[in-house]
Structure 1
Amino acid sequence: MKKSKSKMITIIISSIALVLVALTVGGYFYVDSQLQAVNASSKETIIVDIPKGSKVSEIGDILQENNVINSSVIFTYYVKYKNETNLKAGKYKLSPSMTVEQVVNELKRGEVIAPSKLVIPEGYSLDQIADRMVVYKPELQKADILSVMDDKAFVNELMTAYPDTVTKDVLAPKIKHPLEGYLYPATYEFTGKTDIKAMISDMVKATDANIAKYKPELTKQKMSVHHFLTMSSLIEKEATANVDRSKISSVFYNRLKEGMPLQTDPTVLYALGKHKSRTMYEDLQVDSPYNTYKYKGLPPGPISNSGKTSMEATLNPEKTDYLYFLANTKTGQVYFSKTLEEHNRLKEEHITNNQ
């Protein structure tokens, strides 16, 4: 009896030891994978602005937001473990092909850059565009750029110059920033003396020119430019490289038709005015007309700019019965569902079990 009991105890201890070893090995390989490059073969360069006074976790969030690192959390633990206390603020040219160690070394060297062209990516907010403008023209101050963007007299000038695009909708009482979503994502080059108004005007002009081809369809669907750009921005912020945007568009339209709140996380982050890798439950409580968890319908205006693909998806949603979708943040794969039950099952399978 004693021998049997002793044997059982030995088996239990051995089993526990094997589990601990498996967890340790699994954890090691996971952390190691997160320290590697997002895309080792990428030739893309990304301008990243690290503001003065940023905490390590905030730097990690900015880097992840810009697709330079895999995980803000792992980056933070790495920096603290290595005791890297001399990361410098500034504007850097980084790449998804860099490992966390290489990124940290760049931030330690503090060799900032100013690009020869102003590249405005799709899905950028005015705040992010202002950051890019400062990188491009270091003599500019971000506060001055944002002030010009929100200046009603200047906005009125743009309304006069581009009446078919910039309408009175941009000055509605609940609008956070009048020109949000109206600065077209493209590559610009400005020579000579820096003029903030001229730079912004050119971006609005590009939006006006690109929307022109959609005017007949907008008229046919009785859709205002403001509504068009607002919906396009939501699709832009929710889309990944692996998703059909017309399906996301269909989900939003289906929810609007059913009188359901859109419940899209990017609107919450826009309301908070923060860049975060994850939206927490407490974030969803923010009382803002842009919070589509609290308020039904579209937000008051766009939450970012949007590109051609999202614009076309806005006008041409796929015909589906989908009311939900979720994205696996590790793979970028997006899963669509018709019912809450199915959505929760997919969430458990692809999100909860993979955290």
Structure 2
Amino acid sequence: MLIVLLVTVVLLPASRFALFLSLPAGDGRRAEIVELGKGRPLRAVAQELERRGILSSGRLFTLYARLMGGDSRVKAGFYLFDDGMRPGRILSMMLTGEIYQRLFALPQGYSSFQAAEMLEKRGIFTKEKFLAACRDGAMLSELGIQAPSAEGYLFPGSYNILPGKTEQEVVREMILRQQKYLKDEVRDRLKVRGLTENELLTLASMVEKEAVLPAEKPLIAAVFQNRLKLGMRLQSDPTALYGVRAFAGKVSRDDIMKQTPYNTYQIPALPPGPIGNPGKDAIEAVLDPPTVPYLYFVGRGDGSHQFSRDLASHNYAVNKYLKAPAAAQRGTR
């Protein structure tokens, strides 16, 4: 084989081969994502790159790769090439596995609506199609989720959304990651807490939305569970806005008066399902809350909260951290 390759190179005009190696096919304006699948001949990939305008000659690239001993060492995956790359650079990417990645990170606590908006802004999926995938009843039923949506079951973390992946495939991957965590780390402990999986995820999603400081998540979880034991309404601000508008830390009187299935100012118990997708620390906070007497909390304005055991103390904190600063701010206008 080596003799045949050497003969082929000798028969080629040296200037042509040297020119091919030294000059890219274009000016870098054309970019293409190409899949190098397992078992796919390098020759076929080279021909595709030539057809797409990334290489000036697929035949010469194949010859070059064989001379370099790289034709059998290329790594499978998706690659992003442009026509401003020299052949040596393209081959080097294939040999080192410098594959294309389109990473998407779902933050802890984000709702499916927020995830859909992020994906649309990144140009990965449209908001409508991603949300439709989250509500795919057949898929949810297949995965054992008895809920109208995948809300709460999308595992926060990073995902590589390769070309060709559908919205359903990405949602399924997110759900499976969450289910694996719940199966491996959580389900045996649910019985001890007396919670269903839906109640766990619902409480954890509320903790995620309320907490700014990670260290306060267990305290917030304890407040919610203390109130539930006493039959008190949870009165959680983010629940008043779920499905209505994005939660930005503030709610109005009109917000808390709205009659929605999730508004815990109006309903006497937990919402029917999660209001976001909780991470591990919020789930752990619900599973293992501290024993504290607190029934109330209010934001101090710096991300932290003041926790209180009775209404009088809470009203004092509200006046100190919310009403007094607002009145002072109005006075300076």
Q: TM-score, normalised by structure 2?
A: 0.64
Aligned counterpart for 1:134 among listed residues 120, 127, 141:
120
Say which SS state the counterpart of residue 277 (structure 2) adopts.
coil
Partner amino acid for 2:236?
T
Map 1:23-102 to 2 at 5 A: none
Aligned counterpart for 2:201 among listed residues 220, 229, 232:
229
Q: Does 1:195 align with 2:166?
A: yes
Partner amino acid for 2:114?
Q
Q: Does 1:123 align with 2:123?
A: no
Q: CA deviation at 1:223?
A: 2.1
Q: Does 1:293 align with 2:265?
A: yes
**Aligned residues of 1:181 and 1:303 also touching (Cα < 8 A):** yes
**Aligned residues of 1:180 and 1:302 also touching (Cα < 8 A):** yes
Say which SS state the counterpart of residue 276 (structure 2) adopts.
coil
Which consecutive residues of structure 2, in runs of 5 or more, have no partner in the other structure?
A: 1-100, 327-333
- CA displacement, residues 7-30 of structure 1 (integer Å, 9 cap, x when unaligned): xxxxxxxxxxxxxxxxxxxxxxxx
Q: CA deviation at 1:139?
A: 5.3
**Aligned residues of 2:119 and 2:126 also touching (Cα < 8 A):** no
- CA displacement, residues 281-332 of structure 1 (integer Å, 9 cap, x when unaligned): 1111111120100111110000001111110010111111111001123x11
Partner amino acid for 1:141?
T
Partner amino acid for 2:126?
Q
**Aligned residues of 2:238 and 2:247 also touching (Cα < 8 A):** no
Say which SS state the counterpart of residue 290 (structure 1) adopts.
coil
Q: Does 1:308 align with 2:308?
A: no
Map 1:222-301 to 2 at 5 A: 222-241=194-213, 243-301=215-273
- Cα distance between partner residues in 2 of 1:180 and 1:242: 22
- Cα distance between partner residues in 2 of 1:243 and 1:346: 20
Segments of 4+ in structure 1 off by > 3 A?
A: 273-277
- Cα distance between partner residues in 1 of 2:232 and 2:187: 28
Say which SS state the counterpart of residue 319 (structure 1) adopts.
coil
Which consecutive residues of structure 1, in runs of 5 or more, have no partner in the other structure?
A: 1-114, 160-165, 172-177
Partner amino acid for 1:153?
A
- Cα distance between partner residues in 2 of 1:253 and 1:268: 19
Partner amino acid for 2:150?
L
Q: CA deviation at 1:181?
A: 0.9
Q: CA deviation at 1:221?
A: 2.8
The aligned length equals 225
Q: CA deviation at 1:243?
A: 4.2
Partner amino acid for 2:140?
V
Partner amino acid for 2:113?
D
**Aligned residues of 1:242 and 1:334 also touching (Cα < 8 A):** no
Partner amino acid for 2:103?
K
Aligned counterpart for 2:307 among listed residues 323, 336, 344:
336
**Aligned residues of 1:261 and 1:295 also touching (Cα < 8 A):** yes
Q: CA deviation at 1:271?
A: 4.3
- CA displacement, residues 90-135 of structure 1 (integer Å, 9 cap, x when unaligned): xxxxxxxxxxxxxxxxxxxxxxxxx931010001000111122223
Q: Does 1:146 align with 2:131?
A: yes
**Aligned residues of 1:251 and 1:323 also touching (Cα < 8 A):** yes
Say which SS state the counterpart of residue 143 (structure 2) adopts.
helix
- CA displacement, residues 158-204 of structure 1 (integer Å, 9 cap, x when unaligned): 22xxxxxx2x2x14xxxxxx211110100111223131111000000
- CA displacement, residues 39-75 of structure 1 (integer Å, 9 cap, x when unaligned): xxxxxxxxxxxxxxxxxxxxxxxxxxxxxxxxxxxxx
- CA displacement, residues 67-93 of structure 1 (integer Å, 9 cap, x when unaligned): xxxxxxxxxxxxxxxxxxxxxxxxxxx
- Cα distance between partner residues in 2 of 1:307 and 1:189: 19
Q: How big is the alpha-carbon RMSD for the aligned residues of Structure 1 and Structure 2?
A: 1.7
- 1:157 counterpart residue number: 142
**Aligned residues of 2:300 and 2:321 also touching (Cα < 8 A):** yes
Q: CA deviation at 1:222?
A: 3.5
Partner amino acid for 1:130?
A
Q: CA deviation at 1:151?
A: 2.3
Aligned counterpart for 1:322 among listed residues 276, 285, 294:
294
Say which SS state the counterpart of residue 187 (structure 1) adopts.
strand
Q: CA deviation at 1:276?
A: 4.1
Q: Does 1:184 align with 2:139?
A: no
Q: TM-score, normalised by structure 1?
A: 0.60
**Aligned residues of 2:102 and 2:162 also touching (Cα < 8 A):** no
Larger Rg: 2
**Aligned residues of 1:326 and 1:336 also touching (Cα < 8 A):** yes
Q: CA deviation at 1:275?
A: 3.9
Q: Does 1:211 align with 2:182?
A: yes
**Aligned residues of 1:242 and 1:333 also touching (Cα < 8 A):** no
Partner amino acid for 2:255?
D
- Cα distance between partner residues in 2 of 1:235 and 1:180: 15
Q: CA deviation at 1:277?
A: 4.4
